[in-house]
């Protein structure tokens, strides 16, 4: 398992670290769940506090299609319904959420500040331990929705460009390479 520092991290997955698996060398059969989603993987993001790694966020990824080559790049590019489900493993303050997301979008060279501000507006207070956040992409509407169950408001951001940037934070960000691996480990 590997980890990356919370401070240099992520984005809605709040730039934390993942304890994760490696990408499978061969494609494995992934069964579609009853709800129509393929579950592609899970990771745990951590941060370092006084030289100790602390679990901060559990994250899972699902999608309604399977990319042909089953790579992180193809998961990012896939224009089908997909989602991240986060669960806060400890309290995360609003300022940390906002700073981490801003940094994540900058790291993947996404510069539409209006869309980033709109996404950040979903987080109006801290995420309390146990709170879930669902970040979903609706392929038909070409929009990404950020929906904290507590500590925020459901916000939708238009454009497949924003989806690709959001997915890139977790799948294509070189600082979080192992997180992306963990989130596609079941492909």
**Torsion region of 51: left, alpha or beta (phi above 0 gives left; psi -120 to 50 gives alpha):** left
pLDDT recorded at residue 177: 64
Q: pLDDT means per 10 residues in the chain (187 residues)?
A: 38 37 43 88 81 86 92 95 96 94 95 97 95 98 96 94 96 79 92
pLDDT recorded at residue 175: 72
| Non-local CB neighbours of 75 within 8 Å, separated by 6+ positions | 40, 61, 63, 67, 82, 167, 171, 183, 184, 187
Q: Tokens 């769940």 label which residue?
A: 33
pLDDT recorded at residue 73: 94
pLDDT recorded at residue 24: 34
Distance from C-alpha of 70 to C-alpha of 2, rounded to nearest angstrom: 22
pLDDT recorded at residue 20: 35
Distance from C-alpha of 68 to C-alpha of 82, rounded to nearest angstrom: 15
Nearest Cα residue to 167 out of 138, 122, 141, 136: 136
pLDDT recorded at residue 8: 36
pLDDT recorded at residue 130: 96
Assigned CATH for 38-183 = 3.50.70.10
pLDDT recorded at residue 169: 93
Per-domain boundaries in the chain: 38-183
pLDDT recorded at residue 49: 74
């Amino acid at each position: 398992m590997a980890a990356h520092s919370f401070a240099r991290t992520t984005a809605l997955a709040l730039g934390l670290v993942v304890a994760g698996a490696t990408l499978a060398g061969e494609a494995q059969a992934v069964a579609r769940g009853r709800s129509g989603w393929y579950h592609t993987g899970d990771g745990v993001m951590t941060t370092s506090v006084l030289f100790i790694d602390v679990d901060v966020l559990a994250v899972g990824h699902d999608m309604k299609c399977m990319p042909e080559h089953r790579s992180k790049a193809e998961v990012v590019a896939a224009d089908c319904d997909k989602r991240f489900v986060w669960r806060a493993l400890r309290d995360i303050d609003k300022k940390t959420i906002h700073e981490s997301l801003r940094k994540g979008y900058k790291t993947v060279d996404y510069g539409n500040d209006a869309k980033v501000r709109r996404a950040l507006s979903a987080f109006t207070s801290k995420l309390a331990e146990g709170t879930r956040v669902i970040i979903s992409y609706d392929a038909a509407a070409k929009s990404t929705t950020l929906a904290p169950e507590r500590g925020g408001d459901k916000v939708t951001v238009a454009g497949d460009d924003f989806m690709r940037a959001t997915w890139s934070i977790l799948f294509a960000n070189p600082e979080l390479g192992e997180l992306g691996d963990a989130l596609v480990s079941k492909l």
